[in-house]
Structure 1
């Protein structure tokens, strides 16, 4: 290799190392980009109505702050009131389920009893993985920045990106060779459409999931229906795993109250899942935003191991953006070009 090639390789290696060391800050910046992306569409709507962009930015940030304050003022208090009791009842219900399974195992085959784990053994199995993910993802925010300061920083970054996004966009595009910059601009437009589609769909899913689960739990007269419905709405932010996790608390509480209701709850949540698969996702989410369940699960594990909790929560938008770049750059611009050349 020539000296220039070695120098380029060293520069790339150093750049990759630096990016790896600041990966948590990059993820924070990506979160700000997602928020700014959603608000920017609202600003563009204001502009189409004849409102100046500066006023549109001010109105959009005002709506965001009102939504945040309203959420913590109206929604959080009843949830926080029922949450301690929910935390107390769920382990009791899980223990009741394990006891029932152990009793059934004794009747069927006494040898099966030895293979059934206890609640403590289950928690011990998952504890190392949870500690690893939490330790990586929360160290920056809880030790150096703290939660309030990190939220302020996130809102400040979002406001800066929203107020004047062109310098950041043009600066990123200029990192690429001049002949490829128009192509990068097209890819960024594609990413923008995908992020906007994902954001709209996930907000509607959270509202619909919470509403449907609340109605079902209220009809069954399950205790703490509001807290469990809100938990379902929050966990709807996590694809695939979220709905599975949200069904555990109502089933556990139903086992303590009336066991047959747990079966009805499973049916209700299966209906919610089918509504999501066959109606919500095809109607709300564009085809290019939908990822296969296996790819989504692998992306969640991958980004959780790299970025921690925040990476796990943002795995889907990260995977969507990654899909756009792989499809446009690797497949269309590189692999497809090789195929055309080979045919010639």
Structure 2
């Protein structure tokens, strides 16, 4: 039985009939959604950096698993287990063999640097190039107070250890079954864009593995060479300086400057001749790294222009702090790959259109 009711004609106050108005509302909604997405990224930048760091760690593990597959063709899970055990054995073995010596040298390094900084400040103050000691101490207290107010969650040791543990665990899960997460990312992309997205994702993974392999090779080589050269030159605390130089080599340009400053400061603390020897070691190591090691590694890995790398490090350190500085190179490399692939895809589309025409 059909009921007869009276229906009011005409549009309701909340219904938009004009197509132009609908179009403008849709466009405004897109821009508003984009603004909300940017605000969400800004609010969640620290967790996003942790996730990206986990991706970098997973790429390291994946590179080791792929390398091990060339000599040991067994299941991926077993190869990953071997890589993890080798890394743990290396870290534990290093600290077991030289742990006491490294702790003593680290404590001595801190006191030596404090003395050298005070001497440098006093010399600059005597030359009229720096405020007096009392004014300098007040400026340092004020600066430390300002830094304390803006320090992120990585500022304390407990939160740093927690973040480091989260990076290790998340990276390990990603390295165990990377295909699952890759398929999940592809599923979130429109169907007609999935092939292009898969190609870009594969190239990003290859680039990241090559970049990290080159970085690790450079870190090991630079750290060992610095350690041996400083021991031969008679510079104190050669072991801890070699380890710090190797770790800082992960950050090109800026890391070399910091390690050089540490070497020179420790060298001059032992005497003028030792300081000159430290400068010579620094110049020789950086020359070897810049003109011999890096060109060889760059041919097999990712060739990033120095100015682009340094600019990215400045921007990321200003925006995201020390963690952004450490991850500047992987970020830049992945963005570079995405832009290059986008350019190639546009060229392929133009060629296809010309063939059709």
Larger Rg: 2
**Corresponding residue of 1:257:** 270
Secondary structure class of the residue paired with 2:255:
helix
**Corresponding residue of 1:114:** 128
CA contact (8 A) 1:250 1:265 kept: yes
**Corresponding residue of 2:34:** 12
CA drift at 1:134 = 9.9
**Corresponding residue of 2:76:** 53
Q: 2:81 matched to 1:67? A: no
Q: 2:329 matched to 1:306? A: no
For residues 250 and 74 of structure 1, do their structure 2 counterparts lie closer, same or farther at Cα, with a shift above 3 Å needed?
same
Distance in structure 2 (CA, Å) of the matches to 1:227 and 1:59: 28
CA contact (8 A) 1:197 1:285 kept: no
The root-mean-square deviation of aligned C-alpha atoms, in Å, is 3.5
Aligned residues: 331
CA drift at 1:149 = 3.1
Distance in structure 2 (CA, Å) of the matches to 1:336 and 1:9: 30
Of the structure 1 ranges 204-213 and 70-79, higher mean CA displacement relative to structure 2 is found in 70-79
> Counting helix residues as a fraction of each chain, which structure ranks higher?
1
CA contact (8 A) 2:63 2:213 kept: no
> Which one of 48, 59, 67 corresponds to residue 37 of structure 1?
59
Distance in structure 2 (CA, Å) of the matches to 1:134 and 1:281: 40
Q: 2:25 matched to 1:3? A: yes
CA contact (8 A) 1:231 1:246 kept: yes
Gaps of 5+ in 2: 1-22
Q: 2:250 matched to 1:237? A: yes
Q: TM-score, normalised by structure 2?
A: 0.79
Q: 2:131 matched to 1:92? A: no
CA contact (8 A) 2:200 2:341 kept: yes
CA contact (8 A) 1:133 1:305 kept: no
Q: Trace 1:47-196 onto structure 2 (pairs within 5 A).
A: 47=69, 49-97=72-120, 113-116=127-130, 121=136, 124=139, 128=143, 135=150, 138-139=152-153, 142=156, 146-196=159-209
Gaps of 5+ in 1: 104-112
1:108-131 Cα shifts (integer Å, max 9, x gaps): xxxxx3235678859958985996
Q: TM-score, normalised by structure 1?
A: 0.82
Identify which of structures 1 and 2 has the higher relative contact order when contacts are C-alpha pairs closer than 8 Å and 6+ apart. Answer: 1
**Corresponding residue of 2:5:** none
For residues 51 and 81 of structure 1, do their structure 2 counterparts lie closer, same or farther at Cα, with a shift above 3 Å needed?
same
**Corresponding residue of 2:221:** 208
**Corresponding residue of 2:239:** 226
